[in-house]
Each structure stands twice: as structure tokens, then as C-alpha cells.
A = this chain, B = another copy of it.
Amino acid sequence: MKPTENEVVRKLLHTMHLPRPTAGLALGPGDDAALLAPRPGYQSILTCDWFLEGTHFLRDKHPADSIGWKCLARAVSDVAAMGGRPRGFLLSLALPVSCTGRWLVDFGGGLRRACVELGCPLAGGDTTQRDEILINVAVVGEVRTGKALTRSGAQPGDAIFVSGRLGEAERGLELLRRMRQVRGSDRALRKHLYPEPRLALGQWLSEHRMATAIMDLSDGLSTDLPRLCAASGVGARIQAASLPAVSPIAHANSGKGSRSKTAQRNTSELAWNSKAIELALNGGDDYELLFTVRPYKARRLPTRIGRIPITRIGEITRERKLLLVQADGSEQSLKEGGWNPFAAKSR
């Protein structure tokens, strides 16, 4: 027998062990809308993200638990890119009837972990039936008034930094596509299945007034950097050899094996690997932070902030061009090769 909408909602809330109303919210799920009490001296951050079967994930490949984690983590990443903290989220979920059983329980488990680890309770949402799994997450966050970080403040001469490693999620996706049986615990898949928004780093950069411009890398550096530059009215020169790239995975069915090989290679070797450079430039879904820092401050930046490595990859230029400097010193224009949903069919 087909469940009612009320039953699907009750099952999800039960799976997530949610009290009503959720702590931290004046009114949580169950009414026409949720109520959140903003703190004095703070602005609200608003952001939303699609997460769609066939476009952003594959039902037969991606574990439901990972879909639950990632739909929230990627939306929260935009809050990190503003230097803020998440306060709550709305979940819009459209499901086939066949996903209202075990799938929903696993999905709710991953979502619940993300709620707890990211400090972002479920405030409400909307549920309906659909042949494909459609997810939309809207997050409300907060940032102290005047402390929000935007894309538009980069100035010529600023140093450009990225957090973490670039291309790791795309490498995971390439591996996952070739796997018969996906294990969520596979370490080579972790960045793709369970990305971690850089909340602490974003807050550190905001509190220390360190970043002139910032955004999160969701579509790939070669597509996202032009957006930051356009918002700031500047250009950029990127050093290919400086990119914190990863090794491509050589063998289709052995994440672990290829990872231990990876560990044996050294960083300079990786930087020369054209596949790794391509992944770093064009790979999507990393949810690392891209930010710019005034040169006199850049010299004092540590190589890690918290536990997250940060790497200087180039500088902002007055001329509104995007250039990639190869290891031999030759320059070429940086082509947008990241994720464009109106060109690609699926991630």
C-alpha cells in the first residue's frame, strides 16, 4: 500500500531522531513554516542547492547514506564561504514510492550525521512523490553584521589561496563510475561521497579579516575562479605547478591499491602529471575554499589553518584575463572546463 505524505514525513523525522520542535529553533518541522530567532548583531545567510538524481548523483551507485550527508554538506559549504555558521535548513524531498522504505532510513541516517556534525538542525521542508529522487536544501546561517565575506573584494596584487586538495572528489567520482559495488567506507571515495564544508576555516578568515574575497569550489577552479574575478572586476594568474593536485587513480577496481601507490609518489611528481592538473582545474564537488589575501598578510599566513592545509596558487591581476602559467614559464589562457549543467548531462 502506498504511504501518505504524512507517513513519509513521520518516518523521516523518526529516522533522524528529531524531537519537536528541534532544539535551537523556536519552531521546528510540523507547522506551515519554521521559526528561527535571529541573534542581535547578526545577519542571516540564505542559500540553496539542487541535488538531483541523474544530474548530481546516481541511485544505483551512490549510497543513500552519502546522499543524505552530501545534500546538506554542499549547501552548508556556501555558508562557510560567507564566513558564517549554519542555523537550520529546509529539506525539499521528492521520492519514488520504492524509496520510502530502506532507502529513506539510510538517507535519514546520513542526513542526521550531517545535521549533528555541521551543527545545522532540520527546520522544515516539503515532501512529494516523483519517479526520480529530487532534493533541494535551503540553509539559513548567521554571520556577525559587517563580517560576511563575499566574492567581490579581490584587488590586484592579492595572493590567491585554496584549501585542501583539488580534484579529489572528481577522482573519486571517476573511480565510483567504474566500480561494480560501491563501498561508502572506501577512502578514495570519501571526498566525493562525504565532502566536508570548511566552516572553521571560513569563520577564521572572517574573524581575522584575512580574506578580501572568497567562494567555495563547487564546479571546479577553472569555472569558479572566473566568477570570483568577475565579481571583483579583476583578473588572475595561476601557477600550474603550485596547484595542490592529487594523483589520478590508475586501476579501476582497487581504490586502496592505487591510493597506496599514490602515497609513494611525491608532490612535485604529481604537479607534473597533466591528468592531476586537469582534475585540479576542472574537477567539481571539492567544496574547498578559494580566497584572496592582501600580499602583506599573505606572507604571515600559516600553511595550515586548523587541520586544513592552505596553498598559495597565484595572484590577482589588474588586467581582466585568466592565465595559467605552466611549469616551463609559458602562459596560456585558463579555459572554463568545470561543471556547466547546460552543457553536461550528468555529474
| Interface residues in chain A, defined as those with a beta carbon under 8 Å from any beta carbon in chain B | 2-8, 26-27, 30-38, 40, 42-50, 52, 55, 78-79, 81-82, 84, 88, 90, 92, 94, 97, 100, 123-130, 134, 136, 138-141, 143, 145, 148, 150-152, 214-216, 227, 231, 336, 340-344
Residues of B within 8 A of A150 (CB): 27, 31-32
Q: Say whether B341 contacts A128, CB under 8 Å.
A: yes
Q: Indicate whether A148 sits within 8 Å of B27 (C-beta atoms), given known contacts A46-B36, A92-B48.
A: yes
Count of identical protomers in the assembly: 2
Q: Say whether A79 contacts B342, CB under 8 Å.
A: no
Q: Say whether A36 contacts B31, CB under 8 Å.
A: no
By beta carbon, the residue of chain B nearest A46 is: B34
Could you pull out 6 A-B pairs where Cβ atoms are within 8 angstroms?
Answer: A26-B43, A31-B82, A32-B151, A32-B215, A46-B138, A55-B130
Q: Say whether B123 contacts A4, CB under 8 Å.
A: no
Q: Say whether B50 contacts A44, CB under 8 Å.
A: no
Residues of B within 8 A of A141 (CB): 33
Interchain CA distance A214-B215 in the complex, whole Å: 41
Q: Say whether B46 contacts A94, CB under 8 Å.
A: no
Among candidates B8, B124, B342, residue contacting A48 with C-beta atoms closer than 8 Å: B124
Residues of B within 8 A of A81 (CB): 32-33
Q: Say whether B50 contacts A34, CB under 8 Å.
A: no
Among candidates B47, B100, B124, B336, residue contacting A34 with C-beta atoms closer than 8 Å: B47
In this complex, which of A55, A92, A151 has the most chain B Cβ atoms within 10 angstroms of its Cβ? A92
